[in-house]
């Protein structure tokens, strides 16, 4: 046995081994036909090697002819496999070329069995035996070539063109490695295969070694497929790693959720089922095994907060916005717990809300701290209010004295009229009417005073800012007259309502007006004017009602613009320096802003803005004083410059509020 036998056998064995491996792979993974195709290719390559070896050892012309006839079968299989592999696996090569090659090769196979002895030879005259490459004696045919054999050569040429074209496509696609390995080996193999016609035509004198040309391609294909297998293995390892990561993240999440006392939940909207983690069940006081749906959840929420929570849910379902709500939960033992819920809606492919996912957290402690802070803030505000009332006591006494004075004089006048004997009923009626109206006025002063002195919960009313301005001007009327300060008002009409505590907002405005009066106390009388404006401001898409108090006193140094709002900062000899800082906390508690600016010419302006109330919620708006009923506070000291439309454009004269005398 010489090297020729060994090499050809090894070639066949290698091909068969690969075929066996990939057949096994295909069995495990049937969805990928590439492996089966390769397996068939490798078997065909092995068969060609076997045929070639037998042909070299052929003793007679008959034997050789038969072998040469039958070798066309594995060659046909191989060519078809190559073309399929290029088309299916590399996704390259022209379709018409592929079909032409397959058709032509099939024609070659048929013709091969039509002609005798085969397609390549018209007849083989003899076999030439010689020793090749130092190996054993081999046989080479000698005879007349069959002109139909050219068809085989044409198919080989087409195959070469097909390979070149496919390689270029793959290369251009950016897959240079695959183009080099698979495409290169295929082109090389197809060129090498050209020795067959040359041997048949008697141009060269060597044994056929087609199996090598083709097994090279098979090796390249095997390399390519193994590369994919390796890649898949890598992916699977990474997948495993990421699964581990995922599990770890999940565990971390659970740990964090448990540490933060987060109750994770999911609401399947179609089935109306709520899944809630055990932590969450404990938050709401649900039993661990209890079946939860929306109604059960609703029953746990405090009755006063149900509306709010369900509006938030509805809003989220409608707009897809994040769900956010803070509400109280009534626990089975009667305790109250504050919960903050957040969640997100997930929509199905039809755009319908499918489920909501989110988390709930216990915010009772935070709420308690907030309540404490609010209470302290209110106490502070109350203290400041009481102090301010002390300062205004003279003015308030005056406000009370006026109606009392009118009542007393009227009553004594009535006594005298009765004593005189000449009773004028009309006059007595007028007197009594005035006594009643003045008594009411005094009661109003006292009522307002009591509100101011009252220490209680912050009220959340819907109110009109213009009413707050008027109330404040009534309260300060005497003080303004006393200080000879004229207040000009530009109150915008039809302002939207706001939500807030009327007394606290009055307090802020009183502070600002009193400060402004102090700022102009040294000015000459014509300069003792204040301007109070109300209006509406649109910023970043949200609207706010604004109030500004402008004085013509000194300006505030730029570096003190913020400092003035700090506690205990004061420029007044007797001031505590709490007024503006309390004002700022009050306005901040109303979700508004308080700031100061210097006027272009002289003096400063203090502004505050308050978010407008949503039109669909809140208590009915307190609108006891319509703008047109602006009598009590005018009294000559307050002048209304006519109504201003909310956008700040002044209304034509006469349409607003004239100075009214009483």
Could you list the residues that contact other proteins (CB under 8 A)? Answer: 394, 397-398, 401-410, 412-413, 415-417, 420, 427, 431, 434, 437-438, 478, 481-482, 484, 486, 635-637, 661-662
* Minimal distance, residue 430 CB to other proteins, in Å: 8
Q: How far apart are CA 286 and CA 337, in angstroms?
A: 13
- Cα angle vertex 291, ends 290, 293, to 5°? 130
Nearer to other proteins by C-beta: 317 or 417? Answer: 417
**Shortest distance (Å) from residue 311 CB to other proteins:** 50
Phi (first) and psi of residue 176, to 5 degrees: -60, -40
647 SS3 class:
coil
Closest CA to 622 of 489, 540, 482, 503: 503
Smallest gap from Cβ 637 to other proteins, in A, equals: 5
Q: How far apart are CA 391 and CA 454, in angstroms?
A: 17
Judge contact between 152 and 208, C-beta under 8 A.
Answer: no
477 or 590: CB nearest other proteins: 477
Structure tokens belonging to residue 24:
């096994």
Strands 486-491 and 529-539, bridge-based pairing:
parallel
Q: What is the smallest separation between the CB atom of 480 and other proteins, expressed in angstroms?
A: 8
Task: Look at strands 323-330 and 336-347 and give their pairing.
Answer: antiparallel
Please say which residue, 20 or 436, places its beta carbon nearer to other proteins.
436
In the complex with other proteins, the residue whose CB is nearer, 291 or 425, is: 425
Q: Two tokens at 474? A: 């009534």
Distance CA 323, CA 327 (A): 13
Query: Which residues does residue 356 pair with via DSSP β-bridges, in sequence order?
Result: 267, 345
Cα torsion through 260, 261, 263, 264, rounded to 10: 30
How far is 275 from 17, CA to CA, in rounded Å?
A: 56
Q: How far is the CB of 409 from other proteins (least distance, A)?
A: 3
Whether 480 and 634 have beta carbons less than 8 Å apart is answered as: no
Q: What is the DSSP string of 314-345?
A: HHHHHH-PPEEEEEEEE-TTS-EEEEEEEEEE
Nearer to other proteins, 288 or 421 (CB): 421
| CB nearer to other proteins: pick between 50 and 476 | 476
Question: Among residues 107 and 402, whose Cβ is nearest to other proteins?
Answer: 402
CB of 612 to other proteins, least distance (A): 35
What does the H/E/C string look like for 547-570? EEEECCCCCCCHHHCCHHHCCCCC
Nearer to other proteins, 426 or 540 (CB): 426
For residue 540, is it left (φ>0), alpha (ψ between -120 and 50) or beta?
left
Q: Smallest gap, in angstroms, from Cβ of residue 625 to other proteins?
A: 19
Smallest gap, in angstroms, from Cβ of residue 635 to other proteins? 7
> Can you read off the two tokens belonging to residue 174?
């950016």
CB of 432 to other proteins, least distance (A): 12
Q: Which is nearer to other proteins, 313 or 435 (CB)?
A: 435
Between β-strands 137-145 and 273-276, what pairing exists: parallel, antiparallel or unpaired?
unpaired
Q: Considering only CA atoms, which of 653, 648, 630, 657 is closest in space to residue 492?
A: 648
Name the minimum Å distance from CB 412 to other proteins. Answer: 4
* CB 605 to other proteins: min, Å: 24
Minimum gap (Å) between residue 321 Cβ and other proteins:
54
271 vs 661 by CB, closer to other proteins = 661
User: For residues 463 and 460, what is the distance between their CA atoms, to the nearest angstrom?
Assistant: 9
SS3 615: coil
Q: Which residue, 258 or 401, has its beta carbon nearer to other proteins?
A: 401
Nearest distance in Å: CB 473, other proteins: 13
Closer of 137 and 411 to other proteins (Cβ)? 411
Shortest Å distance, C-beta 516 to other proteins = 17
Q: How far is CA 534 from the centre of its chain?
A: 38
Closest to other proteins by CB, 375 or 484? 484
Pairs from 388-395 (Cβ < 8 Å, separation ≥ 24): 388/507, 388/510, 388/511, 388/514, 388/579, 389/449, 389/452, 389/453, 391/514, 392/475, 392/476, 392/479, 392/510, 392/514, 394/478, 394/479, 394/482, 395/476, 395/477, 395/478, 395/479, 395/482
Query: Shortest distance, CB of residue 339 to other proteins, whole angstroms?
Result: 55
- 23, 25, 18, 21: which is closest to 42 by C-alpha? 18
Please report how close the Cβ of residue 574 comes to other proteins at its closest, in angstroms. Answer: 18
Judged by beta carbon, residue 291 or residue 661, the one nearer other proteins is: 661
* Nearer to other proteins (CB atom), residue 57 or residue 635: 635
Q: Is the dihedral of CA 388, 389, 391, 395 positive or negative?
A: positive
Residue number, 71 or 633, with CB nearest to other proteins:
633
Rounded Cα distance between 280 and 359, Å, is 8
Q: Which of 41, 57, 45 lies closest to 2, judged by CA?
A: 57
Q: Which helix (H) or strand (E) holds 350?
A: none
């Amino acid at each position: 046995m010489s090297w020729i036998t060994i090499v050809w056998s090894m070639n066949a064995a290698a091909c068969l081994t690969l075929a066996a491996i990939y057949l096994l792979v295909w069995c495990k993974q049937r969805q990928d036909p590439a492996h089966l195709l390769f397996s068939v290719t490798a078997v065909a390559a092995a068969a060609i090697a076997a045929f070639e070896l037998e042909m070299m050892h052929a003793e007679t012309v008959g034997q050789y002819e038969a072998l040469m006839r039958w070798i066309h079968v594995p060659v046909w299989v191989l060519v078809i496999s190559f073309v399929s592999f290029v088309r299916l696996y590399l996704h390259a090569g022209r379709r018409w070329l592929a079909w032409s090659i397959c058709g032509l090769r099939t024609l070659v196979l048929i013709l091969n069995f039509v002609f005798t002895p085969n397609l390549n030879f018209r007849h083989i005259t003899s076999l030439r035996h010689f020793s090749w490459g130092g190996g054993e004696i081999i046989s080479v045919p000698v005879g007349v070539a069959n002109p139909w054999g050219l068809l085989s050569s044409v198919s080989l040429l087409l195959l070469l063109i097909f390979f070149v074209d496919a390689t270029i496509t793959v290369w251009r696609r950016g897959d240079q490695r695959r183009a080099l390995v698979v495409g290169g080996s295929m082109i090389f193999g197809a060129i090498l295969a050209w020795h067959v016609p040359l041997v048949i035509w008697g141009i060269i004198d060597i044994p056929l070694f087609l199996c090598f040309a083709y097994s090279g391609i098979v090796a390249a294909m095997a390399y390519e497929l193994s590369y994919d297998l390796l890649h898949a293995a890598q992916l699977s390892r990474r997948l495993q790693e990421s699964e581990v990561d995922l599990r770890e993240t999940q565990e971390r999440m659970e740990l964090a959720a448990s540490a933060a006392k987060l109750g994770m939940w999911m609401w399947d909207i179609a089935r109306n089922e709520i899944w809630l983690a055990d932590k969450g069940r404990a938050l709401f006081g649900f039993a661990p095994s209890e079946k939860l749906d929306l109604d059960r959840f609703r029953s746990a929420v405090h009755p006063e907060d149900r509306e709010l929570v369900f509006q938030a849910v509805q809003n989220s379902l409608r707009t897809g916005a994040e769900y956010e709500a803070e509400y109280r939960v009534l626990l089975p033992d009667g305790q109250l717990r504050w919960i903050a819920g957040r969640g997100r809606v997930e929509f199905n492919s039809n755009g319908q809300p499918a489920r909501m996912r989110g988390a709930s957290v216990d915010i009772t402690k935070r709420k308690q701290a907030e309540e404490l802070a609010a209470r302290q803030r209110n106490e502070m505000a109350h203290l400041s209010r009481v102090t301010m009332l002390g300062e205004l006591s003279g003015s308030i006494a005056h406000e009370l004295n006026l109606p009392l004075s009118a009542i007393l004089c009227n009553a004594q006048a009535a006594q005298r009229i009765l004593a005189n004997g000449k009773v004028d009923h009309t006059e007595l009626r007028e007197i009594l009417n005035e006594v009643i109206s003045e008594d009411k006025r005094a009661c109003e002063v006292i009522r307002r005073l009591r509100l101011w002195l009252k220490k209680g919960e912050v009220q959340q009313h819907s109110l009109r800012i213009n009413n707050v301005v008027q109330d404040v001007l009534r309260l300060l009327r005497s003080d303004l007259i006393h200080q000879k300060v004229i207040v000009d008002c530009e109150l915008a009409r039809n302002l939207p309502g706001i939500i807030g505590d009327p007394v606290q907002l009055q307090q802020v405005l009183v502070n600002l007006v009193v400060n402004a009066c102090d700022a102009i106390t040294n000015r000459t009388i014509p300069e003792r004017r204040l301007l109070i404006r109300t209006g509406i401001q649109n910023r970043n898409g949200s609207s706010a009602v604004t109030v500004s108090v402008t004085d013509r006193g000194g300006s505030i140094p730029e570096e003190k613009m913020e400092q003035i709002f700090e506690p205990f900062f004061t420029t007044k000899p007797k001031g505590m320096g709490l007024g503006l800082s309390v004002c700022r906390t009050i306005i901040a508690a109303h979700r508004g802003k308080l700031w100061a600016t210097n006027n272009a010419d002289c003096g400063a302006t203090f502004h505050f803005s308050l978010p407008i109330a949503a039109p669909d919620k809140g208590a009915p708006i307190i609108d006891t004083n319509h703008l047109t009923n602006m009598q009590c506070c005018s009294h000559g000291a307050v002048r209304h410059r006519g109504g201003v439309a909310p956008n700040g454009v002044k209304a034509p004269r006469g349409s607003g509020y004239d100075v009214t005398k009483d």
